[in-house]
């Protein structure tokens, strides 16, 4: 199962994702793996990373993966639950640390790896296209790439949830579609 969780800054998406992950871990007895894409580049980011660590329980295995999400997805087993926080920082790392690489290719490789992954995967991403259009070329390129990345993941995800003001809004749920079809069949 792939679940994409989108929202703006401080929308509550990470808290929502953690609650969803804990439910799945308990229901299905999955091995919790937190994949962090952030790097502590300054004091504020260090404090932000520390706050996220403190929100998780001791039972979470931490993997710091600023670039190679494909490798992590390929190593995962069906007994793993991967909580990836966040795709937007992963994209930033791709653009900043691998400026000569094609971000569309990185997105394609990521979606291919997700499609082949045996684990339950929850991905957190920022929805950056709802605000003011950035003035600089680099910022506009980032917003475009983030939008295309979110669309690509959204197409293959089983579930997509948008979080605003701490409230989840279901955008896509193939599970609920399957449930509705099975209920229809039982009623006939």
What amino acid positions are annotated as catalytic residues?
52
CB crowding 97-123: b at 16 or more within 10 Å, else e: eeeeeebeebbeebbebbeebebbbbb
Q: Which residue has the tokens 């404090």?
A: 47
Q: Residue written as tokens 């995967």?
A: 121
d(CA 153, CA 126): 13
Burial class (CB in 10 A: 0-12, 13-18, 19+), 49: middle
Map residue 131 onto helix, strand or coil.
Answer: coil
* Rg for the chain, CA atoms, rounded: 17
120-126/167-173 β-pairing: unpaired
> At CA 75, angle to CA 97 and CA 108, rounded to 5?
50
Q: Which residue, 17, 33, 148, is CA-closest to 88?
A: 148
């Amino acid at each position: 199962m792939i679940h994409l969780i989108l929202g703006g800054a401080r929308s509550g998406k990470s808290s929502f994702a953690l609650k969803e992950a804990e439910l799945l871990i308990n229901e299905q007895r999955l091995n919790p793996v937190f994949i962090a894409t952030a790097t502590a580049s300054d004091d504020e980011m260090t404090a932000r990373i520390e706050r996220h660590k403190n929100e998780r329980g001791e039972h979470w295995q931490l993997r710091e993966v600023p670039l190679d999400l494909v490798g992590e997805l390929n190593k995962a087993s069906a007994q793993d639950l991967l909580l990836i926080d966040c795709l937007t920082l992963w994209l930033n790392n791709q653009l900043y640390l691998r400026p000569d690489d094609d971000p569309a290719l990185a997105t394609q490789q990521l979606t291919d790896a997700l499609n082949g992954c045996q684990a339950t995967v929850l991905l957190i991403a920022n929805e950056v296209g709802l605000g003011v259009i950035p003035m600089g070329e680099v910022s506009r390129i980032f917003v475009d790439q983030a939008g295309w990345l979110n669309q690509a993941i959204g197409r293959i995800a089983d579930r997509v949830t948008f979080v605003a003001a701490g409230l989840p809004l279901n955008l896509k749920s193939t599970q609920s579609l399957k449930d509705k079809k099975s209920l229809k069949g039982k009623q006939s």
